[in-house]
Structure 1
Amino acid sequence: MAMILCVLYPDPTTGYPPKYARDDIPVITGYANGQTVPSPQGKLGFIPGELVGCVSGELGLRPYLEANGHELIVISDKDGSNSEFDHHLPDADVVISQPFWPAYLTADRISKAKKLKLALTAGIGSDHVDLKAAAEHGITVAEVTFSNSVSVAEHVVMMVLSLVRDYLPAHEIANKGGWDIADCVSRSYDLEGMHFGTIAAGRIGLAVLRRLKPFDVHLHYYDPHRLSADVERELNLTYHDTPQSMVKVCDVINLQTPLYPSTEHMFDDKMFALMKRGTYLINTARGKLCDRDAVVRALESGRLAGYAGDVWFPQPAPADHPWRTMPHQGMTPHMSGTSLSGQARYAAGTLEILEDFFEKRPIRPEYLIVDAGSLAGTGAASYKLA
């Protein structure tokens, strides 16, 4: 019997389950790169479209795990030395966490998790796990790659349009009974004809570029792994060999690069100084890609016309985090990748990985980040051990 410690965000404040707006969600069978959606062998423990990413939802895992004699503990209390997470961690064989409510598996915590064999991200992004420490302790790290990439890409497009058209202040004027059209449009522009660039053009970055092409914008990208000539021609992409080159010419910049030591605080005062006045910045990758206070300064000075994102550091962000109150922002809690549609896929992928792990079958390479003491699969292409 194994003990599975699952850390999920709390239930809705209005109670669980919520009243759903729709009766179903579209059936997706594959992704743009040809990868198939998660395909567990057993029956899902939920109906696709249900809220399963919170504590009571349990990712729908309880039926499978208990039928096979395993123990499932689901909590939301994850921070501090007296947290439920730290209390249960020494007995855990498997830890499941989400990027939206990450249980930070630091080197210190890993050293105390003597039984831990698998650290599983329900979603995409394993930077809340100290990958070097996991490799040294022989812990497998896996995530449900591509499961919610389109969910995030759609969120990016929404944020781009919200900032450029200055939608949120106009909506607030309408909510308050006003009809102040001059105020609504004084910072509102068309996206058409602007230069849009993405830093990292992997699964999410490329999906964003494809979705913005019909808006007749000039598309730019930087990525250490250049896209094929066919893709560059298809989207009429301009490639830049450094992020600094790209940010100088773009009106809207999208961050999708993974977080590791060399990208931490990539966007600081020096980087902002390279940008056009009035640039918009979107960040649904990781909060620590940006220097927190430099973002505030750039908005207050007008160097940035707007900043939108759903990633913070730490997560959840404290109530006094300056990004909550800085001007011209469109921040949300980290929710872009946990739409009900995305949850159906990453919960199914979590079940698939657990089935493979317990039944001693190879985990899909695209789901692997660390295996057998080193980076593996997607991890080898996306992360660095540092």
Structure 2
Amino acid sequence: MGAMGDQDLPGVLVSGFEGPSGICKDHVGELQKHFNLITMHELLENKTQLGPKIQAVCIWNREPAINQELLQSLPALKIVASSGAGLDHLDLKLIDSFGVKVANTPQAVSSPTADLGMALLLAAARRVVEGHQLAVSPDTESFSANWMGEEVTGSTLGIVGMGSIGYKVAQRARAFEMKILYHNRKRRKLEEEEAVGATYCDKLDELLQQSDFVMLALSLTPQTQRLIGRRELRLMKPTAILVNIGRGLLIDQDALVEALQTGVIRAAALDVSHPEPLPRDHPLLKLKNVTLTPHIGSATHQARRQMMENLVGSILASLNGLPIPNEVLFK
């Protein structure tokens, strides 16, 4: 595709429109109403002319990557607007040093990601994927009455990371009469805990020891990288199921493979891994007690539309000198 949109509109840099990181065709029109879209490819071909026209970067599926060289080539840049809630792909200090604002779209992703967290928990507990394979296999002649999973109702769920996604998971888990424990950097207000019947665990170890299901719903930071390693997995019950809807690097994957192979924990359900996708010969792909989805936490038509509307709103606010909705404030 050539240069997009009206040349008189503010220039916005996007990764492109093709391939796995391309902006969904349904959303291009929404962007074009307000902006002149310039692709990474076009910028690289004509930096001198296009660089000064770009006032915002719209990041979709972590692309384009923001580095010093790119920031130096965009003298008029005011804002980097990134889809989703995670910020681990952005060097916030570097962006701030150029006097550029950052916004993301946390509200758009929290409900669909919490829904998927519950879907993965239920699928792993009741062995839905294995059951489907058994039900459709040409070799199946009978169903065993002793082919069983784990009960979800009344069990204990430990939520690690009680931000907007974790809290929505708790709201959903409450309908399953689950006992809810949570561990978070900051304790939630008492009335928020009471509204979902959640109990705060000051120590992660305590949550791991008591939970039947452990769900990771926290951001990836240097402090949370490989938060769940060999020691933490050994603290969990042998019947426990680990669910990850955060980032792949929250878990030491080698330790997880070993724990799943040797019965240290019962199963894992992962929407995220490191890298994504995993190499096709990765041991996690061969284990029956693993349920994997392709990082689809926010992948609903409704959420993606809202994400795009939020990105447009943040960019327009920034260009017009107004308060930016969902601005990420630098610590």
What residue number does 2:32 align with?
63
Shift of 1:363: 0.5
Shift of 1:242: 1.8
Matching residue's letter, 1:133: L
What residue number does 2:234 align with?
273
User: What is the CA deviation profile of residues 170-198 of structure 1, one whole-angstrom value per residue up to 9, with x for unaligned ones?
Assistant: 1112222435422x853412112221110
* 1:153–1:208 CA contact under 8 A, matched in 2: yes
Q: Distance in 2 between matches of 1:73 and 1:216?
A: 50
Secondary structure in 1 matching 2:291: coil
* 2:160–2:184 CA contact under 8 A, matched in 1: yes
* 1:53–1:338 CA contact under 8 A, matched in 2: no
Matching residue's letter, 2:63: A
Matching residue's letter, 1:368: E
Q: Which has the higher contact order (CA 8 A, sep 6+)?
A: 1
Shift of 1:304: 2.3
What residue number does 1:369 align with?
328
User: What is the CA deviation profile of residues 335-373 of structure 1, one whole-angstrom value per residue up to 9, with x for unaligned ones?
Assistant: 121211211211111121122122221112xx0114xxx
Matching residue's letter, 1:181: F
Task: Give the gaps of 5 or more residues in structure 1.
Answer: 13-51, 76-83, 376-386
Q: Distance in 1 between matches of 2:249 and 2:46?
A: 26
Matching residue's letter, 2:37: L
Secondary structure in 1 matching 2:168: helix
What residue number does 2:303 align with?
342
What residue number does 1:7 align with?
15
Q: TM-score, normalised by structure 1?
A: 0.74
Matching residue's letter, 2:295: H
* 2:16–2:22 CA contact under 8 A, matched in 1: yes
What residue number does 1:262 align with?
223
Matching residue's letter, 2:225: E
* 1:201–1:223 CA contact under 8 A, matched in 2: yes
Q: Distance in 2 between matches of 1:166 and 1:8?
A: 39
Matching residue's letter, 1:71: N
Matched positions, count? 316
* 1:194–1:251 CA contact under 8 A, matched in 2: yes
Choose 1 or 2 for highest CA Rg.
2
* 1:147–1:342 CA contact under 8 A, matched in 2: yes
Task: Give the gaps of 5 or more residues in structure 2.
Answer: 1-8
- In percent, how many aligned pairs have the same letter? 23
User: What is the CA deviation profile of residues 212-231 of structure 1, one whole-angstrom value per residue up to 9, with x for unaligned ones?
Assistant: 11212211111122122223
What residue number does 1:172 align with?
133
Matching residue's letter, 2:25: S
What residue number does 2:97 align with?
136
Secondary structure in 1 matching 2:242: strand
**Aligned 1:1-386 pairs, distance under 5 A:** 2-7=10-15, 54-65=23-34, 70-74=35-39, 84=41, 87=44, 91=51, 92-98=54-60, 101-103=61-63, 105=65, 107-108=67-68, 112-115=72-75, 116-177=77-138, 178=140, 180-182=142-144, 186-364=147-325, 367-370=326-329, 374-375=330-331
Secondary structure in 2 matching 1:186: coil
Secondary structure in 2 matching 1:262: coil
Secondary structure in 1 matching 2:25: coil
Q: Distance in 2 between matches of 1:353 and 1:175?
A: 48
User: What is the CA deviation profile of residues 300-339 of structure 1, one whole-angstrom value per residue up to 9, with x for unaligned ones?
Assistant: 1112221112222334544444443344111111112121
Shift of 1:260: 0.7
Change (3 A) 1:369 1:335: same
Change (3 A) 1:5 1:111: closer
Q: Distance in 1 between matches of 2:167 and 2:177?
A: 16
Shift of 1:257: 1.2
Shift of 1:245: 1.6
Q: Distance in 2 between matches of 1:214 and 1:290?
A: 28
What residue number does 2:6 align with?
none
Q: Distance in 2 between matches of 1:2 and 1:316?
A: 35
Runs of at least 4 residues of structure 1 off by over 6 A?
Answer: none
Matching residue's letter, 1:278: T
Secondary structure in 2 matching 1:226: coil
Matching residue's letter, 2:11: M
Higher helix share: 2
Q: TM-score, normalised by structure 2?
A: 0.85
Matching residue's letter, 1:215: F
Shift of 1:147: 1.0
State which drifts further: 87-96 or 207-216.
87-96
* 1:299–1:327 CA contact under 8 A, matched in 2: no
